[in-house]
Amino acid sequence: MRRLTLLFALAVTAAFAQAPKAPAAATTQAAHLPDDACTTCHSALDGPLQKPAQLFKDDVHTTAGLSCADCHGGDRTAMDPEGSMSKAKGFIGKPKRADIPALCGKCHSDPGFMRRFRPQQRVDQLELYKTSVHGKKLASGDMNAATCVDCHSVHDIRTVKDANAPTHPLNIPATCGRCHSDAAKMKQYGIPTNQVDEYHTSVHWNAISKKGDLSAPNCVSCHGNHGAKPPDVESVSAVCGSCHVLFAQLYEKSVHQPIFGGGAGKGGCTVCHSNHAIHQPTTAMLTGDKAICSTCHEAGTAGANAASEFAKGLNGLDAALKQSEATLKQAEYYGMEVSSSQLEWNDGHESLIKARLALHSFDTAKVKKEVDAGLAIAAKTKAAAEQALLEKDARRKGLAISALFIAITVAGIWMVIKKMERPA
């Protein structure tokens, strides 16, 4: 097979040698450099030898003016296989898996070189990669671990924000899932393979995929892309606080922090919210069969009492706000002017949000304060709506009375006219 291909390659070379100095670019689709022997010849091959040359036209390295030889070495101007792919010219062939990070790092860790292309380009990927679980595993000889090309692809590497890149937020779960959802591949490590499935049910994936909110976290926002963990957090479980700042501030000072921790391993927010299957929180987390609090706090203890007080407060405020909202809508439907009360209602809703936040202090007084403020607004706006509805009734009564008056007057006039029309 190899021989056949080599023969074919030689035939291609011969054909080129005979061609009357036609520019190579005119004869092959993928040749972008006039003297790039690598792309010219490989475009004419087939299978895995041709594929790189076909893919390479969309590669970010092509756009930067680089070519096959910049990664694989060799002489891009020699049209014969022996000359172009000669070891003497630094040809390395297909790099070994273990050598790939260093190969990419040859340029990507060289600030002088990289900043000629883009002044702000980071040059720490290899250095960080070496500290990651993937990098350490690869260095220890485990070829299952992800290398640069498993996350970035090879020969059609795109800028990381390109919608078709495997590193785009919409594509990252699938990129990681190629290994992490593969039970056979991950078996020897004894770690779960449900991360992608669980993540796909989360509020975060919903925000990214349905609302187009790319600020919500994908796998690498929490785990880091190159490094072992994202910068500035002492553990993955502490990462929630980098976005949900106010929640973390309260939690840090709460009774639970020293118990759940935030240190190595699982802990912190994930004790109650999980890490991958984070769903829209409700008061069902506080009381009922699915309550999380009762897994640690037995009925009658301070913790359990606090949980039911939180649930009562939040449910009560939520119900009061809904009633008030419905009454305001009714008044608005009848054309009554309630816009200032509707604006005020928003403050009540704000109190509900603040109460849910305050819950993270696990201090009943702090939650009660927000709930009471919200209840007062709910009561006030509901009363205003009811007042408006009473006014509407009063106006209707007035309208009915004046309509009656008008009818009587019209009838009177009609009778007078009839009387006048009668022949004297």
Q: Can you tell me the distance from the alpha carbon of 401 to that of 97, in angstroms, rounded to the nearest whole number? A: 92
- Closest CB to ligand HEC among residues 58, 70: 70
Alpha helices in 142-192 (DSSP H): 148-152, 172-180, 183-186
Nearest approach in angstroms of CB 77 to ligand HEC is 9
Nearest approach in angstroms of CB 352 to ligand HEC is 8
Question: Is residue 281 a contact partner of residue 357, using CB atoms and an 8 Å limit?
Answer: no
- Closest CB to ligand HEC among residues 72, 382: 72
Q: What is the rounded (10 degree) CA torsion for 16, 19, 23, 26?
A: -90
- Closest CB to ligand HEC among residues 316, 342: 316
- Closest CB to ligand HEC among residues 73, 338: 73
Nearest approach in angstroms of CB 139 to ligand HEC is 12
What count of residues does the chain have?
424
Q: Which residues contact 218 (CB under 8 A, 6 or more apart)?
A: 169, 172, 173, 204, 205, 208
Give the torsion sign (CA, 375, 379, 384, 389): positive
Nearest approach in angstroms of CB 377 to ligand HEC is 17
- Closest CB to ligand HEC among residues 125, 341: 125
- Closest CB to ligand HEC among residues 236, 389: 236
Question: Is residue 76 a contact partner of residue 50, using CB atoms and an 8 Å limit?
Answer: no
- Closest CB to ligand HEC among residues 185, 329: 185
Nearest approach in angstroms of CB 120 to ligand HEC is 9
Nearest approach in angstroms of CB 375 to ligand HEC is 16
Q: Can you tell me the distance from the alpha carbon of 74 to that of 90, in angstroms, rounded to the nearest whole number? A: 5
- Closest CB to ligand HEC among residues 264, 416: 264
- Closest CB to ligand HEC among residues 110, 393: 110
Tokens representing residue 263 in the block: 């240190």
Residue 39 CB coordination number (10 Å)? 26
Q: Can you tell me the distance from the alpha carbon of 81 to that of 87, in angstroms, rounded to the nearest whole number? A: 11
Q: Which long-range contacts (CB under 8 A, 24 or more apart) does 55-63 make?
A: 55/155, 55/156, 56/30, 56/155, 56/156, 57/29, 57/30, 57/32, 58/156, 58/158, 59/155, 59/156, 59/157, 59/158, 60/157, 60/158, 60/159, 61/157, 62/32
Nearest approach in angstroms of CB 276 to ligand HEC is 5
Q: Can you tell me the distance from the alpha carbon of 225 to that of 231, in angstroms, rounded to the nearest whole number? A: 10
Nearest approach in angstroms of CB 33 to ligand HEC is 10
Nearest approach in angstroms of CB 379 to ligand HEC is 21
Question: Is residue 143 a contact partner of residue 99, using CB atoms and an 8 Å limit?
Answer: no
